[in-house]
Amino acid sequence: MDGSGCTRASLREGFLAEHASIVALLNAVIGAVGAGDDARAAEAWRAFASGLLAHLDAEDGLLVSAPPQERGARILVHEHRFIRGCVSELERAAGRRALSRRALENLRDVLSAHLRNDDRFLYTWAEDGLGERLREAALAALGARLAAMSPPPAR
Residues forming contacts to Fe ion in the complex (CB under 5 A) are 59, 118
Smallest separation, CB 90 to Fe ion (Å): 17
Beta carbon nearer to Fe ion, 75 or 103: 75
Beta carbon nearer to Fe ion, 14 or 152: 14
Smallest separation, CB 16 to Fe ion (Å): 9
- Terminal-residue alpha carbon distance, the chain: 40
Please give the residue whose beta carbon sits closest to Fe ion in the complex: 118
Smallest separation, CB 118 to Fe ion (Å): 4
Distance CA 141, CA 92 (A): 29
Classified as helix, coil or strand, 143 is: helix
Beta carbon nearer to Fe ion, 43 or 118: 118
**Nearest one of 40, 53, 45 to 25, comparing CA atoms:** 45
Beta carbon nearer to Fe ion, 43 or 59: 59
Torsion of CA 69, 108, 94, 151, to 10 degrees: -90
